[in-house]
A and B are shown apart, each in its own frame.
Chain A
């Protein structure tokens, strides 16, 4: 019953292969097998969104995906969006607008926000609040998170216009 299976994952553009029990949750495979610790374990019950990653183009809570289901998938985590030397525009704006306090929810929040802006580059404040409703922050009261995302959206749009 506890036979391990061969799992292939492409995470942030890099191919990985490892053995895992089918029941292992994607979040633990990322954190403990691949040492990709950006996505956090918050509630582990699909509520808080700290473990949010992008899997095959969908924002998902990686605590609610078995690694067996993810076999063959392309996954993007916060590490795939930016790094300390080259921050993603969302990371820049979270920094600029103080969109975090303790920072625990931030990787999931930004990963979710990146997908949201990809699907809706011109969101209203209400769109942002509805779009991040699956991510809980217990520090900020969301005000500055929303501000950061809206500001990132206009910056991304300005950059797009300038490039044209």
Chain B
């Protein structure tokens, strides 16, 4: 599997990246870890005449936690997410999710920036970013801007990012309460058949706040506001969990593929969400 030929660039500052993107338009793509893009190029499902490697750009590989806000540079790998004690303390759901992505070798290379910017519905971090109500930081020739993760995804591989923009970081308020990322997959390394990201906080024995998002069950990640609302004020009892699952099921729109027919995916979605809510509540 040999990809089409391309010109390779390794600029050392973001201005150089933006200039190349501006010059080559949609003939150019940036590459971080490359573990989504390279397989697509090898299959010739993606043709990238101008490949811009971000590895030499400084300032994209830090994790900062200050004033209750977590900010993660785009080039931070899943491996680094797993091994950051500081991040685990501030947002343990990040580690729990990252451990369920692909396999060890892929996690050394795969980055949070690539995972969220690529727009692949199978990626796990976009769903998690919905759950955490994260913000995506973009730079482009028209300057910097910040987009809510919940407004970023338009369709499979289609996002709000312009061709000459680069996603440089994600940020979110450090979550409070219990958490869970639950993923059903056929084997290690597979994308989710269904996955759920849940954060729940407890107030006086009841659910104070709840945020629920689903992965690979529509052509975009799905934040189910109604599913979270179904839990608020309840004791997270069986009936409330069932109501949350029912609400979630009316927000997703899975399609049949080699991971199963629609009915099976809806069934799996309900199971993973039930488990994720139970685990998050037990930790709240």
**Could you say which residues of chain A place their CB within 8 Å of the CB of B4?**
23
Cβ-defined partner of B105 (8 Å) among A23, A44, A45, A134: A134
Q: Which residue of A lies closest to B4 (CB)?
A: A23
A79 at the interface (CB under 8 A from B): no
Q: Which residue of B lies closest to A51 (CB)?
A: B105
A-contact bits for B1-36, CB 8 A (1 contact / 0 none): 111111110100000000000000000000100110
B49 at the interface (CB under 8 A from A): yes
**Could you say which residues of chain B place their CB within 8 Å of the CB of A47?**
189
Q: Are B104 and A131 in contact (CB under 8 A)?
A: yes
A87 at the interface (CB under 8 A from B): no
A37 at the interface (CB under 8 A from B): no
Cβ-defined partner of B188 (8 Å) among A5, A46, A68, A133: A133
B38 at the interface (CB under 8 A from A): yes
Q: Chain A's nearest CB lies how many Å from the CB of B49?
A: 7
**Could you say which residues of chain A place their CB within 8 Å of the CB of B105?**
46, 49, 52, 58-61, 112, 134
Q: Are B79 and A22 in contact (CB under 8 A)?
A: no
Q: Chain A's nearest CB lies how many Å from the CB of B51?
A: 7
Q: Are B106 and A133 in contact (CB under 8 A)?
A: no
Cβ-defined partner of B34 (8 Å) among A5, A69, A131: A69
Q: Which of A34-60 contact B (CB under 8 A)?
A: 44-47, 49, 52, 58-60
Q: Are B8 and A66 in contact (CB under 8 A)?
A: yes
Q: Are A23 and B1 in contact (CB under 8 A)?
A: no
Q: Are B103 and A133 in contact (CB under 8 A)?
A: yes
Query: How far, in angstroms, from A64 to B8 measured CA to CA in the complex?
Result: 16
Q: Are A68 and B8 in contact (CB under 8 A)?
A: yes
* Total contacting residues, chain B, CB less than 8 A: 30
Q: Which residue of B lies closest to A57 (CB)?
A: B108
Q: Most A CB atoms within 10 A — which of B7, B8, B10, B53?
A: B8
Q: Chain A's nearest CB lies how many Å from the CB of B157?
A: 19
Q: Chain A's nearest CB lies how many Å from the CB of B40?
A: 11
Q: Most A CB atoms within 10 A — which of B3, B53, B105?
A: B105
Q: Chain A's nearest CB lies how many Å from the CB of B100?
A: 11
A164 at the interface (CB under 8 A from B): no
**Could you say which residues of chain A place their CB within 8 Å of the CB of B84?**
none
**Could you say which residues of chain B place their CB within 8 Å of the CB of A1?**
5-7, 49
B109 at the interface (CB under 8 A from A): yes
Query: How far, in angstroms, from A46 to B10 measured CA to CA in the complex?
Result: 23
A83 at the interface (CB under 8 A from B): no
A156 at the interface (CB under 8 A from B): no
Q: Which of A1-41 contact B (CB under 8 A)?
A: 1-3, 5, 21-23
Query: How far, in angstroms, from A65 to B188 measured CA to CA in the complex?
Result: 21
Q: Are A23 and B79 in contact (CB under 8 A)?
A: no
B55 at the interface (CB under 8 A from A): yes
User: Beyond A52-B105, A69-B34, is A22–B8 a contact (Cβ under 8 Å)?
Assistant: yes
Query: How far, in angstroms, from A45 to B79 measured CA to CA in the complex?
Result: 20
B62 at the interface (CB under 8 A from A): no
Cβ-defined partner of A134 (8 Å) among B3, B49, B189: B189
Cβ-defined partner of A64 (8 Å) among B5, B7, B38, B104: B38
Q: Are B51 and A22 in contact (CB under 8 A)?
A: yes
B205 at the interface (CB under 8 A from A): no
B39 at the interface (CB under 8 A from A): yes
**Could you say which residues of chain B place their CB within 8 Å of the CB of A132?**
104
Query: How far, in angstroms, from A130 to B189 measured CA to CA in the complex?
Result: 11
User: Beyond A22-B6, A134-B104, is A68–B49 a contact (Cβ under 8 Å)?
Assistant: no
Cβ-defined partner of B109 (8 Å) among A44, A60, A112: A60
Q: Are B104 and A133 in contact (CB under 8 A)?
A: yes
| Apart from A44-B42, A134-B105: 18 A-B pairs, beta carbons within 8 A | A1-B49, A23-B2, A23-B4, A46-B38, A46-B105, A47-B189, A58-B105, A59-B105, A60-B105, A61-B106, A64-B35, A65-B38, A66-B34, A112-B104, A134-B102, A134-B103, A134-B106, A134-B188
- Interface on B for A, CB 8 Å cutoff? 1-8, 10, 31, 34-35, 38-39, 41-42, 49, 51, 53, 55, 79, 102-106, 108-109, 188-189
